[in-house]
Amino acid sequence: MGPVRSSRAVSAGATISDVAEAAGVSRATVSRVMNGLRGEDEITRRVREVAERLAYRPSATARSLSLGRTLAVGVVVPDLANPMFQAVLRAVTDGAYRSGYGVVIAETAGRDEREVDVVRATRARCDALVLVSPQMSEQALEAAADELGPLVLVNRSLPGSRIPSVNVDYAEAMYTVLEHLVELGHGSIAYLQGPASSPSNRARLEGVDEAQVSFGGTSLVTLPCGPTVADGYAAAEAVLATRATAVVAYNDQVAFGLLAHLGELGVSVPEDVSVVGFDDIELARYAAPSLTTVRVPHDELGAHAWERLSALVAGTSATADDHESDTRTEILPTQLVVRASSGPAPAGSATPVAVARRTPQPDGLAWVVDGADTVLAAGESRLARYREGASMADVHAPRPHLHPVRSLAGTRITAASPADRRHHHGLSLALQDVAGSNFWGGRTCVPGEGMQVLGDQGRQVRVAVEVADGRPGRLLEQLEWHGRDGEVLLDEARTLDGELLEGGAGWALRWSSELTARRALRISNPAEESGSLPGYGGVFWRFAPADEHRVASSLGSGDVAHGSRSPWLVVAARHGTAWTTVVLVQDRGRPWFVRTTPYLGAGPAVASGRPIDLAEGHSLAVRLAAVVLDGLHSPSAVAERWYPFGARLLAEG
């Protein structure tokens, strides 16, 4: 390092001149270094060392003039009194201050009609925005991003948008809460809704709808409420009128108000009614009784929002791992925190809705019609629900899919329409491109333009479905694959076979599809052909969020599985203290598409490496076996025992 001049003692704070003199450079050089406008070299390192030694802090006014920016960011929240928003704001502020930015704080006071004006006024005083739980329409948000960007969303994401956001999956979290209550025997559950305009409330309602399908014998009632303690207090009598034995509140504040009024009415919690909140704010553990709630990582939401915003401001925002996402959304995990406010349903009110049992039923597996769906059951235990998918949004490429799928112990191991990639639906057969139509869902890869929303999605249409005669564990289905313009491109014969394993170790599923071309066509993998993205598309399993996961193949553990042509792949996931191991077996030597971040998903990729050309009347076979095991099974045990079992299952098909 070059010479560093000694400096005089600075009693009132070092100045830029002090640093320049001590480092032997000009004031302009110091300014460029401190504002991040000079590359990394010997001089830059020397200036930083001197600045640190002298505890020099640039003048905010001088920096603003030098950079042509305010060096402030704006944070707009609906309600400053809400502890959840306070935590997000605190985390953004901490990150901003550490980076030399000030923070402009604005509140909409929950008044949707003034939100756009507040956002616009705030942006006039700062360089960029964080919008926390914005209520405005998707069109208004897109317009705001075009006019007022850069900005980052918290607790909100837009399908098909390039606006970066940090969110949690409230639908998934709500499903987890309801599953917890159903397992406690509650047959009648009420949800106290938040504001009708709230996107997170709508996501919670999606979770309610999902649970209603999964737990058909359970009554799920939604009641209008609001976001405040007073709203929860006022809702108590309406809750009791439903005769529900459990209540889920929109947030913890609503739950506090409800608990207070129930106590005044002489209703015991959880003996008479269980109460569950959302957010896990600090007071939740000190409520009487302590509140069961969903822990939302507020601090992490704010910290991650600042990271993304600072990258936008610096012009270094990346879209890594965004190759087929509906949005540039980062999903952070939630956690159900069980405390004293939830308990078993009152005696005499419990509903025998079986999620799954730890002991398999002796009569094996059978497909059972349940409304528009078909359920794979072991006695009263529901292991998998097969949905027609006709009501899926067109942009998701509607198709039949399995969800939820569970282990024998009852652990749910699929996710459907998660907030990061809405077009992922449990376990399904989805292809990137068939004769120019997108049967994967979401955006399409366009050479030279990246992933684009084109409206080119196709649809799988059910023609017939039935349980095979004499084989209750075999489901037979006939499908047509309709292209973007309605043309039938493929006919499919699909067979789903379920089988229990000996000794109650688990159960297995064989998926077998025969796709026959109506005309000459090409099945391709445009994302891979672009040269920048991995091959994907085929029978694909989107796994449920897990606390921990491990992936292995015949080549070893970890990332080596991705792209390998291993005959088997093992995905183990821990939910709480319980492990579930899924062994996927193929017989076609296709490369595995494996994702472990930002989500967990896997399947053998069809048409990876080169397109598949089918002549009229010619067929393509797509097959996969899955062995679902409770507990954590080592790769060696999989290779020795469960891979041979899966291979035999495929051979018998």
pLDDT tens track for 602-652: 999 998 888 999 999 999 999 999 999 999 999 999 999 999 999 999 998
Is residue 303 classed as helix, strand or coil in its secondary structure?
helix
Alpha-carbon distance of 195 to 648, in angstroms, equals 54
Q: Is the pLDDT at 320 greater than 70, yes or no? A: no
Are 499 and 653 in contact by the 8 Å Cβ rule? The answer is: no
DSSP state string for 564-624: ---SEEEEEEEETTEEEEEEEE-SS-PPEEEE-SSS-EEEEPTT-SS-EEE-TT-EEEEEE
Q: Parallel, antiparallel, or unpaired: how do β-strands 72-77 and 128-132 relate?
A: parallel
What is the DSSP-derived secondary structure letter of residue 286? G
> In the structure encoding, which two tokens stand for residue 582, read together?
């899924």
Instruction: Determine how many CB atoms are found less than 10 A away from the CB of residue 619.
Output: 15
Alpha-carbon distance of 32 to 38, in angstroms, equals 6
Helix (H) or strand (E) holding 496: strand 488-500
Give me the torsion for CA of 318, 322, 328, 333, rounded to 10°.
-110
User: Under CATH, what is the fold of the domain 170-296?
Assistant: Rossmann fold (3.40.50)
Report CA-CA distances (Å) from 366 to 293, 382, 383: 36, 10, 10
> In the structure encoding, which two tokens stand for residue 392, read together?
């899926």
Q: Which amino acid is residue 388, in one-letter code?
A: E
The per-residue pLDDT for 564 is 93
Are 545 and 172 in contact by the 8 Å Cβ rule? The answer is: yes
Which residue, 263, 204, 254, is CA-closest to 225? Answer: 254
Task: For residue 503, give every residue at least 6 positions away whose Cβ sits within 8 Å of its Cβ, in sequence order, or none.
Answer: none
Alpha-carbon distance of 175 to 419, in angstroms, equals 14
What average pLDDT does range 278-290 have in this prediction? 95
Q: What is the mean pLDDT of the chain?
A: 87
Please, which pLDDT band fits residue 313 given cuts at 50, 70 and 90?
Answer: confident
What average pLDDT does range 86-100 have in this prediction? 93
What average pLDDT does range 23-29 have in this prediction? 87
The per-residue pLDDT for 614 is 96
Instruction: Determine how many CB atoms are found less than 10 A away from the CB of residue 631.
Output: 13
Q: Parallel, antiparallel, or unpaired: how do β-strands 444-446 and 427-430 relate?
A: unpaired
Instruction: Determine how many CB atoms are found less than 10 A away from the CB of residue 636.
Output: 9
Is residue 424 classed as helix, strand or coil in its secondary structure?
coil
49-70 tens-digit pLDDT:
998 888 887 665 455 445 446 7
Are 224 and 193 in contact by the 8 Å Cβ rule? The answer is: yes
- Opening angle at CA 215, ends 214 and 220, nearest 5: 115
**Who has greater pLDDT, 9 or 587?**
587
Find the range with the poorest average confidence among 57-66, 133-142, 182-191.
57-66
pTM of the model: 0.71
Please, which pLDDT band fits residue 147 given cuts at 50, 70 and 90?
Answer: confident
The per-residue pLDDT for 324 is 46
Please, which pLDDT band fits residue 14 given cuts at 50, 70 and 90?
Answer: confident
> In the structure encoding, which two tokens stand for residue 171, read together?
């639908």
584-608 tens-digit pLDDT:
999 989 999 999 988 999 999 998 8
Listed by start position, the domains of the chain span: 16-67, 72-168+300-332, 170-296, 365-652
What is the DSSP-derived secondary structure letter of residue 640? I
Q: Within 13 A of 429's CA, how many CA atoms are on the CB side?
A: 27
The per-residue pLDDT for 384 is 95
Q: Determine the straight-line distance between the first and last CA of the chain, rounded to whole angstroms.
A: 71
Q: Is the pLDDT at 433 greater than 50, yes or no? A: yes
Find the range with the poorest average confidence among 128-137, 160-169, 267-276.
160-169
Backbone angles phi, psi at 502, to 5 degrees: -65, 145
Are 257 and 239 in contact by the 8 Å Cβ rule? The answer is: no
Q: Is the pLDDT at 96 greater than 80, yes or no? A: yes
Is residue 151 classed as helix, strand or coil in its secondary structure?
strand
- Opening angle at CA 52, ends 49 and 58, nearest 5: 115
What average pLDDT does range 474-486 have in this prediction? 97
Alpha-carbon distance of 265 to 270, in angstroms, equals 14
456-467 tens-digit pLDDT:
999 999 999 999
**Residues linked to residue 161 through DSSP beta bridges, in sequence order:** none
510-556 tens-digit pLDDT:
999 999 999 999 999 887 765 545 678 999 999 998 989 999 999 99
- The highest-level CATH class for domain 365-652 is mainly beta
Q: Is the pLDDT at 302 greater than 90, yes or no? A: yes
370-395 tens-digit pLDDT:
877 899 999 878 899 999 999 888 98
Q: Is the pLDDT at 338 greater than 90, yes or no? A: yes
User: Under CATH, what is the fold of the domain 72-168+300-332?
Assistant: Rossmann fold (3.40.50)
Find the range with the poorest average confidence among 110-119, 252-261, 409-418.
110-119
The per-residue pLDDT for 356 is 43
Q: Which CATH superfamily is domain 16-67 in?
A: lambda repressor-like DNA-binding domains (1.10.260.40)
For CA atoms 94, 95, 100, 102, give the dihedral sign.
negative
The per-residue pLDDT for 114 is 84
The per-residue pLDDT for 327 is 52
CATH topology agreement for domains 72-168+300-332 and 170-296: yes
